[in-house]
């Protein structure tokens, strides 16, 4: 499991010792990533196949790889906010990620066209606070605030760099992209339902 210690909560489903690994490279403002997150991960994998007592409980783990897509203006900002939540409330990280996907249309290009990055960060901090607690809104904003040198980023910039470098190093270009045991599984579609996932795991993840 290639995750630096600060990013271990990106293991969002299953046991670290599960022999098979699904890596989901998702972008918070990608509609197809939303389908993968809400339908595949929440609906099929978390809800059924990998759930306690499910057929792949203890056999498959799911890692979320944050895939910043620079052609979406707010992609970096939404991912920054997720990394802030990862630090402040790692146990609620996937809940916040789900909220980002559910509210993603608020962060599309046109709805945010007249907002400054500071205003968008404040909006994201408010969304985060609705998930992890209103008392943490100021802490989220503090992590997202630009500090230090004029071009030095914020408190989560180094984690963001790690994730972007990881994707580039592994030639991941589009979202969603799913890996099984380190190899791209091009056959996986964001439109897959329970039958397709059941058939895929029966073939690929049998012990």
Q: What is the DSSP string of 180-200?
A: ETTEE-TT--TT--HHHHHHH
**How many secondary structure helices (H) and strands (E) does the chain include?**
7, 5
Three-state DSSP state, 99: helix
CA–CA dist 172, 70 (Å, integer)? 13
**Do the Cβ atoms of 37 and 22 come closer than 8 Å?**
no
The top-level CATH class assigned to 5-204 is: alpha beta
Q: What is the pLDDT along the chain (207 residues), one digit of tens a residue?
A: 588 899 999 999 999 999 999 999 999 999 999 999 999 999 999 999 999 999 999 999 999 999 999 999 999 999 999 999 999 999 999 999 999 999 999 999 999 999 999 999 999 999 999 999 999 999 999 999 998 889 999 999 999 999 999 999 999 999 999 999 999 999 999 999 999 999 999 999 876
CA–CA dist 142, 77 (Å, integer)? 14
pLDDT of residue 86: 98
Q: Which of 96, 19, 109, 91 is nearest to 61 (CA)?
A: 19
Q: For 64, which DSSP code?
A: E
């Amino acid at each position: 499991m290639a995750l630096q210690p600060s990013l271990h909560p990106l293991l969002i489903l299953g046991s670290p010792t599960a022999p098979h690994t699904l890596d989901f490279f998702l972008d918070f403002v990608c509609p197809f990533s939303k389908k993968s997150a809400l339908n595949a991960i929440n609906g099929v994998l978390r809800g059924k196949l990998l759930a306690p007592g499910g057929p792949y409980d203890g056999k498959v783990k799911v890692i979320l790889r944050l895939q910043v897509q620079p052609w979406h203006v707010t992609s970096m900002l939404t991912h920054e906010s997720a990394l802030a939540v990862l630090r402040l409330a790692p146990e609620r990280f996937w809940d916040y990620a789900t909220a980002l996907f559910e509210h993603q249309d608020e962060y599309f290009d046109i709805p945010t066209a007249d907002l400054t990055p500071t205003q968008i960060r404040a909006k994201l901090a408010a969304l985060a606070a609705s998930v992890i607690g209103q008392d943490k809104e100021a802490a989220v904003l503090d992590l997202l605030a630009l500090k230090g040198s004029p071009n030095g980023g914020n408190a989560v910039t180094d984690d963001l760099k790690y994730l972007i470098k990881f994707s580039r190093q592994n030639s991941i270009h589009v979202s969603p992209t799913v890996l099984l045991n380190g190899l791209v599984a091009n056959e996986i579609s964001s439109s897959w339902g329970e039958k397709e996932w059941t058939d895929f795991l029966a073939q690929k993840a049998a012990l």
